[in-house]
Amino acid sequence: MSRELLFEGADWNFGTLQRIHDACEHIALNELGLDVYPNQIEVITAEQMLDAYSSTGMPLFYKHWSFGKHFAHHEAFYRKGLRDLAYEIVINSSPCVSYLMEENTATMQTLVIAHAAFGHNHFFKNNYLFKTWTDADGILDYLDFAKGYIARCEERYGQIAVERTLDAAHALMSHGVDHHPGKSKLDLREEERRERDRRTHEEQTFNDLWRTVPAGPGKSASDLTVERRRAALGLPQDNLLYFLEKSAPRLHPWQREILRIARHIAQYFHPQRQTKVMNEGTATYVHYRIMTRLHELGAISDGNFMEFLRSHSNVVFQPSFDDPRFPGFNPYALGFAMMQDIERIVTAPEAEDREWFPDIAGKGDAKGDAMTVLRDIWANYRDESFISQFLSPRLMRQMRMFHLCDDPAQTEGVLISAIHDERGYRRIRRQLAREYDISWTDPNIEVVDVDLAGDRRLLLRHSIVNGCLLEEKTAAQVLQHVADLWSYDVRLEEVDAAGAVLKEHTASPRAMTRAA
Amino acid sequence: MNIVDRRLNPRGKALENRQRFLRRAKNVVQQAVKQSLQSRNIRDVMDGGEVSIPLDGMEEPGLRRGLGGVRDHVLPGNKTFVEGDILQRPRGGAGGRPEKAGEGDGEDAFRFVLTRDEFLNVFLDDLELPDLAKRKLAETEHENPTRAGYSVSGSPANIAINRTTRLALMRRMALRRPNAETIALLEAEIADCQDDALRLALEAKAKALTARVKRIPYIDPVDVRYRRFENEPKPVAQAVMFCLMDVSGSMSEHMKDLAKRFYMLLYIFLSQRYKHVELVFIRHTDRAEEVDEDTFFHSPATGGTLVSSALEAMQAIIAKRYRPDDWNIYAAQASDGDNSYSDEVATARLLTEAILPVSQYFAYLEVGEADREFSSRSALWRLYERLRADGAPLQIRKVSHRSEIFPVFRELFQRRQGHERAVT
């Protein structure tokens, strides 16, 4: 099948975008077998792109000074020409919203439509993490609700009080997610309705008389055993925001709701943090396939295809460790290389691949295509499990990976503990997978105890891994926020594997918040 | 698939977040603006610019791991290493990867660009209009009638003819009032009609129609509508700034330059607060004239010094062009302080009786040579000081160097303390 060129030169209009989308869609659905949310493509300016940058890519968000700070920061860099903007931003929602920059050439628009509107879109819709933890249908409505709710809070309780609560919630966002899908999936529309109903109920049943009724003697909690007390509070609890929302004794209801909003948003973004390599790898692989196919079909001219190859190879460029440009592993490069490698293992395996990957080597579908295997992988893995399963010895050799172990006890220097050879493959793979494991890289902090009957001091514990303590300055600041929310003293212990306390931080609530 | 063009959306969506950020960073931004002002020409004060602020209080902390402990890295691009090699640590010891230049930007300092308006706002922030008790911008002194829909009652002068006839037409159509043509047509038919029986029927019909026309008026009182007006408060949003300057021989170029800078700041300040600011330049020797800006600053003039002449000119111009009810009047006078002794009484009378009652603000700036201290108090200074002591709302300051302009300006416009306001 041969077809006419989709466009010529660099110019495009909305008709061109429509044609490009339709051509990409045809290949994505019929040839690659992707399954996507309906697409919505939005053309935006550089300023709007900067704006999207500063509010975590979402089209609507509540107001907070920190977004203004990020905006000013990005803008300063952009104006000086130090930094380019992304070509697109894509939102995990249904319909799936992709923002395209107006400056992009027609080739670039084709690339980003293939990349975002089909690659990322498929990944969002099919990966198990996104399916379990995010609600693509409800997110935009929920953000709208959050924005309105916070604006109303600001009207009622003052901007400063709301800002203080949000600051604290933001500081704890990385520790405000559930890691274990014990609870049912969030329904964000239901969330919004719940909050509204709760308030109307409160308003309807409000009776000032209750205030005057003397409270009876409270049940003494002293007879509760420590164990029962912990169990009643659900301790230990690693979701700090959840704990504070539910158990902080002196928060106002609206403050709890704000913590809840921050928690939901953190939860929504959590899968993205866990699937950087896979997500970008999928999208890059998809755009590469689609663009190549379009070129084969004669829908893209040779010149435009060269333009695509140039920006594609920029995107998947991986400098080596001693290069001044080295920023760590480029998720696009690693992800794309792995996807291509899997395609090779599926379609043209070698003896080594058959030994390492008996499940997928040579298991392509009837047409000999790797898409069935790849789609299955995209749906069922996250970065950590993906790398520990599918990083092949061949790719490790190709990227010349090695494992560096920096142990302060080793005074002579830094040890090269493994390289890309027979002895090192598995160790390198395990170590690299671990670097992408959020629960390994984020410090593990739990609420372990609180004495509600006594001084109400909250006790947090950081379980130290590899002797690495928390960064002191920021830990103190975050702890201050925790104390402000908790309204009583807070202590954070850093405990190593043997149970020895290596360091303690304490914080007391600030007077201002106490009065609030 | 759906394509949306968002480019047409209103700009400045990020503006509110930015303002929140600036408000939070207010102190440090103010400090930074002050520093950047030292190195810039006052002429450029209207431009924005990049400022760098420390991140104090602007951090967004999170629980992160610090340095130290055992660190493992997998890196790409091995060239010569084999397992078991030991590499020298880079200087500084434990840290693992070498620190790279350019990394960690925005860690302890934060650079960003302030727009012109933001820059000026910060610059002028704690300056406030002097004693605005009389005509504050927000105050609703002036009322203007504005249209506010229709009402069923009102003065005949305000009848809304279009609306009234429209309602009448609607009513006539609804009640099926026969129109003139129908009746005329019927009359013609009757005139032509030969058949008596038919004519009788037609005549009866015509009669009924005429009766109906009489019953249903062309315009009924229920149709009548009047234009409704409501009085809307109209803030006085315009200001006129009088620049008075002594241009006699004793004023040197340096002194004029000082005065000019002061006028500029005053102008910026006013254009921040008012939509429309007009400038009037009055120069005087022993007689005053209104001139354009260029002449005011640059063309020489000779003669004695009579301050009252300038005040007279100002009074005349106010009377002619700037009704005090509509205009906020500001005046700034610059002089080296000379005035003929005989003029004192006239000056004092003009000021206290004619000028000050209508002015928002009257500032007197005494300029001197850069290298000379103000040794004795000048004639004009003594006069104004006396007036001030008697309670006249005058601001007087002395300036002899360019660098003193800004502090003086700030002092002049500083938020007043309660007791001072009570005096003025």
Query: Do residues A65 and B24 touch, judged by C-beta distance below 8 A?
Result: yes
How confident is the model at residue A290, as a pLDDT? 94
CB contact under 8 A, B86 and A415: yes
ipTM higher than threshold 0.85: no
- Is residue A239 in a domain? no
Instruction: Read off the pLDDT of residues B380-401 as tens digits, 9 standing for 90 and up.
Output: 888 888 888 887 778 788 887 7
Contacts of B1 in chain A (CB under 8 A): 18, 21-22, 25, 38-41
pLDDT band at A284 (very low <50, low <70, confident <90, very high): very high
Average pLDDT over residues B197-222: 88
Asked if A443 and B63 come within 8 Å (Cβ–Cβ), the reply is yes
Is B4 close to A42, i.e. CB distance below 8 A? yes
Chain B interface, mutation test: which of A338, A387, A406, most B Cβ atoms within 10 Å?
Answer: A406
Give me the pLDDT at residue A294, please. 93
Q: In angstroms, rounded to a whole number, what is the distance separating the alpha carbons of residues B201 and B190?
A: 9
Is A259 domain-assigned? no
Mean pLDDT of A48-67: 81
Query: In the prediction, which pLDDT does B129 show?
Result: 38
Which of A24, A402, A447, A484 would you mutate first to test chain B, the one with the most B CBs within 10 A? Answer: A402
SS3 B240: strand
**Model-level pTM?**
0.68
Q: Tell me the average pLDDT across A209-222.
A: 61
Q: Looking at the structure, do residues A75 and A117 belong to the same domain, yes or no?
A: yes
**Residues B305 and B340 sit within 8 Å (Cβ to Cβ):** yes
Greater model confidence, A37 or B285: A37
Look at B76 and A318 and tell me if their CB atoms are within 8 Å: yes
Overall average pLDDT of the A196-203 stretch: 81
Q: What is the mean pLDDT of residues A480-502?
A: 88
User: Do B74 and A403 lie within an 8 Å CB cutoff?
Assistant: yes
In a domain, A383, yes or no: yes
Q: How far apart are CA B272 and CA A129, in angstroms?
A: 54
Chain B's closest residue to A170, CA to CA, is B60
Q: Give pLDDT, residue A26.
A: 92
B83: in domain: no
Average pLDDT over every residue of A90-106? 88
Check residue B106 and give its pLDDT.
40
pLDDT, mean of residues B3-10 = 82
Q: Specify the pLDDT at position A259.
A: 92
Q: How far is CA B127 from CA B121, B124, B366, B398, B404, in A?
A: 10, 5, 21, 19, 16
> Looking at residues A266-285, what average pLDDT do you find?
91
Does residue A156 sit within a domain? no
pLDDT in tens, B245-279: 888 777 777 787 778 777 777 777 776 667 677 88
Q: Which of B277, B290, B282 shows the shortest CA–CA distance to B327? A: B277
Which among B61, B66, B71 has the least Cβ separation from residue A469? Answer: B66
- Asked, for residue B75, whether it belongs to a domain, the answer is no
In a domain, B131, yes or no: no
Whether residue B21 and residue A481 make contact (CB cut-off 8 A), yes or no, is: no
Nearest to A46 by CA among A89, A14, A3: A89
| B287 and B379 share one domain | yes
Quick check: B343 and B380 in contact, CB under 8 A?
no
pLDDT bucket at A198, cuts 50 / 70 / 90: confident
Q: Is A147 on the interface with B (CB under 8 A)?
A: no
CB < 8 Å from B in window 465-494 of A: 465-475, 477-478, 481
Are the beta carbons of B127 and B414 closer than 8 angstroms? yes
- pLDDT surpasses 50 at A113: yes
Same domain, B245 and B334: yes
Where a domain ends, among B228, B253, B272? B228
- Among B199, B228, B257, the domain-final residue is B228
Distance, CA of B352 to CA of B315 (rounded, Å): 12
Going by pLDDT thresholds of 50, 70 and 90, the confidence category of residue B331 is confident
Task: Please report which confidence band the pLDDT of residue B421 belongs to, taking 50, 70 and 90 as the band edges.
Answer: very low
Whether residue A426 is found in the same domain as residue A500: no
Which residues does chain A have within 8 Å of residue B16's beta carbon, measured at their own beta carbons? 63, 68
Q: How would residue B43 be classed by pLDDT, with cut points 50, 70 and 90?
A: very low
**Which residues in chain A have Cβ-Cβ distances shorter than 8 Å to B21?**
65-69, 71-72
Q: What does the pLDDT average to over A185-193? A: 71
Q: Are residues B276 and B175 in the same domain?
A: no
| Residues A386, A356 within the same domain | yes
Task: Identify which has the larger pLDDT, A454 or B315.
Answer: B315
When mean pLDDT is compared across A68-77, A275-284, B234-243, B352-361, the lowest value belongs to B234-243
On whether residue B340 sits in a domain, the answer given is yes
Q: What is the C-alpha to C-alpha distance for residues B339 and B330, in angstroms, rounded to an integer?
A: 22
Q: Do A374 and A421 reside in the same domain of the chain?
A: yes
Alpha-carbon dihedral angle through residues A341, A344, A350, A351, given to the nearest 10 degrees: 60
Is the Cβ pair A400, B20 closer than 8 Å? no
CB B66 to CB A415 under 8 A? no
Does A42 contact B110 at a Cβ distance shorter than 8 Å?
no
Indicate the pLDDT class of residue B127, thresholds 50, 70 and 90.
very low
Out of A75, A407, A469, the one facing B112 most closely (by C-beta) is: A75
Closest CA–CA distance from residue B62 to any residue of chain A (Å): 5
Chain B CB contacts of A68 under 8 Å are 14, 16-22
Alpha carbons A208 and A180: distance in angstroms, whole number: 42
What chain B residue is nearest to A477 in terms of C-alpha separation?
Answer: B61
Would the CA dihedral through A44, A49, A51, A57 be positive or negative? positive
A255 domain-assigned: no
Q: Are residues B242 and B196 part of one domain?
A: no
Across all residues in chain A, what is the average pLDDT? Answer: 85
Are residues A334 and A434 located together in one domain of the fold?
A: yes
Give the pLDDT mean for A207-226. 62
Confidence bin at B46 (pLDDT 50/70/90): low
Let me know if residue A221 belongs to a domain: no
Tell me the β-bridge partners of A509: none
Residue B177's contacts (CB-CB under 8 Å, 6 or more residues apart) are: B212, B213, B216, B218
Could you give the percent of chain B with pLDDT greater than 70? 76
Whether residues B185 and B244 fall in one domain: no
Per residue in A217-235, pLDDT tens? Answer: 555 545 556 677 777 777 7
CA atoms of B49 and A231, how far apart (whole Å): 57
pLDDT of A514 reads 43
Chain B positions touching A402 (Cβ under 8 A) are: 74-75, 78, 81
Which percentage of chain A shows pLDDT scores above 90?
31
B186 and B265 fall within a common domain: no
**B284 and B154, same domain (yes or no):** no
Tell me: do A419 and A463 sit in the same domain: no
3-class SS of residue A104: coil
pLDDT tens by residue, B225-246: 999 988 776 666 678 888 888 8
Residues ≥6 apart with Cβ < 8 Å to B209: B178, B182, B183, B186
How would residue B93 be classed by pLDDT, with cut points 50, 70 and 90? Answer: very low
Average pLDDT of the residues in A22-33: 92
Number of domains into which chain A is organized: 3
pLDDT of A139 strictly over 90: no
User: What is residue A393's predicted lDDT score, i.e. its pLDDT?
Assistant: 93
Q: Report whether pLDDT(B61) > 80.
A: yes
Residue B97 pLDDT > 60: no
CB-closest option in A76, A99, A400 to B50: A76
The distance from CA B225 to its chain's CA centroid, rounded to whole angstroms, is: 39
CATH code for the domain in which residue B279 is found: 3.40.50.410
Binned at pLDDT 50, 70 and 90, residue A498 comes out as: confident
Distance CA A102, CA B300 (A): 57
Residues A329 and A430 in one domain: yes
CATH code (residue A478): 3.40.1350
Chain B: residue whose CA lies nearest to A429: B74
End residue of a domain, out of A415, A439, A463: A439
CA distance A74 to chain B (A): 9
In a domain, B321, yes or no: yes
- In this predicted structure, the answer to whether residue A516 has a pLDDT above a threshold of 60 is no
Q: Do B353 and B305 have their domain in common?
A: yes
B5·A43 Cβ contact <8 A:
yes
Q: pLDDT tens, A396-442? A: 999 999 998 888 887 788 888 888 888 889 999 999 999 898 878 88
Minimal CA separation from A333 to chain B, in Å: 11
B355 in the same domain as B258: yes
Q: What is the pLDDT of residues A251-267, one digit of tens each?
A: 888 999 999 999 999 98
Q: Which of A235-249, A288-302, B196-210, B240-254 has the highest mean pLDDT?
A: A288-302
Q: Does residue B417 form part of some domain? A: yes
Using the Cβ of A313 and the Cβ atoms of chain B, whether some distance falls under 8 Å is answered with no
CA distance B111 to chain A (A): 7
What is the C-alpha separation between A108 and A88, in angstroms, rounded? 10
* Judgement on whether residues A327 and A433 belong to the same structural domain of the protein: yes
- All residues of chain B having their beta carbon less than 8 Å from the beta carbon of residue A150 are none
- A57-71 burial, b for 16+ CB within 10 Å, e for fewer? bbbebbbbbbbbbbb
Cross-chain Cβ contact B63/A71 below 8 Å: no
Say if residue B219 is in the same domain as residue B269. no
- Kindly state whether residues B208 and B248 are assigned to the same domain: no
- Measured between CB atoms, does A45 come within 8 Å of chain B? yes
Q: Which two tokens stand for residue A67?
A: 């977004």
Size of interface A-B (CB pairs under 8 A): 258
Give the structural domain span for A54. 14-127+275-310
pLDDT of residue A512: 55
What is residue A439's predicted lDDT score, i.e. its pLDDT? 79
B20 contacts in chain A (CB < 8 Å):
63-65, 68, 159, 163
Is residue A515 very low, low, confident or very high in pLDDT (cuts 50, 70, 90)? very low
Of A76, A170, A407, the CB nearest to B70: A407
- Output the average pLDDT for chain B: 76
Residue A510 placed within a domain: yes
Q: Among partner residues B25, B66, B81, which is closest to A419 by beta-carbon distance?
A: B81
Any domain includes A103: yes
Kindly state whether residues B263 and B339 are assigned to the same domain: yes
- Domain housing B211: 149-228
Which of A21, A63, A75 shows the shortest C-beta gap to B113? A75
Task: Please count the structural domains in chain B.
Answer: 3
DSSP class per residue in A457-499? -EEEEEE-STT-PBPHHHHHHHHHHHHHHH-S-EEEEEE-TTS
CB spacing of A416 vs B87 below 8 angstroms: yes
Beta strands in B124-262 (DSSP E): 142-151, 226-234, 238-246
CA distances from B407 to B38, B375, B398 (A): 12, 21, 11
Please tell me which residue of chain A has the smallest CA distance to B4.
A42
Residue B80 pLDDT greater than 90, yes or no: no
Indicate whether A126 pLDDT > 80: yes
Contacts of B62 in chain A (CB under 8 A): 171, 173-174, 474, 478
Closest-approach residue (CA) in chain B for A240:
B63
Res. B299: pLDDT tops 70: yes
Residue B80 within a domain: no
Q: Residue B133: what residue type?
A: A
Say what the pLDDT of residue B423 is: 32
Instruction: Please indicate, yes or no, if residue B67 is contained in any of the structural domains.
Output: no
Residues A465 and A357 in one domain: no
Residues forming beta bridges with residue B147, ordered by sequence position: B229
Contact check, Cβ <8 Å, B83/A416: yes
A36 inside 8 A of chain B by CB: no
